[in-house]
Amino acid sequence: MPQDILESGDLVDWRNRALLVFDRVPVPAAVCRTDGVVLLANPAMAAEWGTSPGRLPGRNVLELFHPRSAEQVHRIVEAVRRGHRSRYPMRVDWTGPDGRERYGELTADTVSDSADAPLWLLVLLKVLGDRAEPPRDTEVTGTEKRILALAASGATTDRIARSVGLTVDGVNYHLTRLSRRWGVPGRTALVARAYVLGVLAADAWPPAPPPTERRSS
């Protein structure tokens, strides 16, 4: 048998063994593109999403894990853009499949097959615990209130992003976070929930938070 075929077979065998080990690691882990899109996740990571590993590829880790500081995310993005190879930890919060608010540390390691190959992110999650007192449903940030008001007025995601000074991904992150927190599917239900909770004033047009909340940041 030719040597290159043997080497190819050895490589396939090695990757299969690596995937088997990856699946059995008890620590929540995922391999992502540098923009955070999941390529591969193990069962422990999928359990934090309340789903199976096969349903995670294509989704973004920031749909679930919410960094406590946007600066942490910008630091990682800039480091990866410059091709730096290092480990970047960040504190995150998320809502578990049981609806409880959890917190922990997410670590992103830049990895690749070789020095010249494109970088990936190996993401590991250290679960630190549940929050004793989850935030009340109506506790939303000033930015989230503005996003909800613009969504209620029919603004597109791109227009909302320009209006509040975020990227489109940033707007989607906030909308996804609120949808999970309030247990509603889609933007229409999210806006309706905001009115029911009093986050948006029922008698105001264009949509806006109640007068006492409009100064919040």
Tokens 């209006």 found at: 163
pTM: 0.52
* pLDDT tens, position by position, 127-174: 888 765 444 455 788 889 999 999 999 999 999 999 999 898 889 888
The reported pLDDT for the residue numbered 53 is 87
Q: Copy the structure tokens of residue 138.
A: 């109506």
pLDDT tier at 1, thresholds 50, 70, 90? very low
Long-range contacts of 49-56 (CB under 8 A, 24+ apart): 49/97, 50/96, 50/97, 50/98, 51/97, 53/23, 56/30
What number of other Cβ atoms are within 10 A of residue 156's Cβ? 12
Q: Tell me the pLDDT of the chain averaged across its residues.
A: 78
Pick the more confident residue, 216 or 114: 114
The tens digit of pLDDT for each residue in 41-55 reads: 989 888 888 888 888
Amino acid at 61: V
* Segment 172-205, tens digit of pLDDT: 888 988 888 887 777 888 888 888 888 888 888 8
Strand extents, DSSP E, the chain? 29-32, 38-41, 66-67, 87-95, 101-111, 120-130
- Whether a cis peptide bond, with omega within 30° of 0, leads into 26 is no
pLDDT of residue 155: 92
**Mean pLDDT, rounded, for 20-40:** 84
